Amino acid sequence: MQSEQNIISRIIDLDSRAESIRASAREEAARMLSEAVREAEEKKRLLELQTAEKVKIIAADSAQERAREITKVKNEFEQQAKEIGSVSSDKKDRAVTMILSGMRGRFE
């Protein structure tokens, strides 16, 4: 009888230790999951900051490029205006007459 009681006692003890190990494993898994979530959130926050910074840089570069293009177009327009201004009135009159003649031909 003593031997049966010993066996039962050892089985209960082993079961208790197994439950303790399982509880410990669950706690460790929960801790690891919590840590992984925290790390993922931190990485996400850093990526969002990096993305926002890149967007700022791209927007600034875009604005500078736009300003350069506007200046370039203005300069080209001013140059063309100067060139047109230096053309004699007679040549301008002939050019206008040619354009109007061509337009009349299209609409008749």
Residue 98: predicted pLDDT: 85
The residue-averaged pLDDT of 69-87 equals 89
pLDDT in tens, 79-98: 988 887 787 888 878 888 88
pLDDT in tens, 1-15: 578 888 999 999 999
Question: What b/e string do you get for 52-78 counting C-beta neighbours within 10 Å, with b at 16 or more?
Answer: eeeeeeeeeeeeeeeeeeeeeeeeeee
CA atoms within 13 A on the CB side of 86: 6
Q: What is the DSSP letter of 108?
A: -
pLDDT band per the 50, 70, 90 thresholds, residue 108: low
Report which secondary-structure segment, H or E, holds 7: helix 2-86
Residue 94: predicted pLDDT: 84
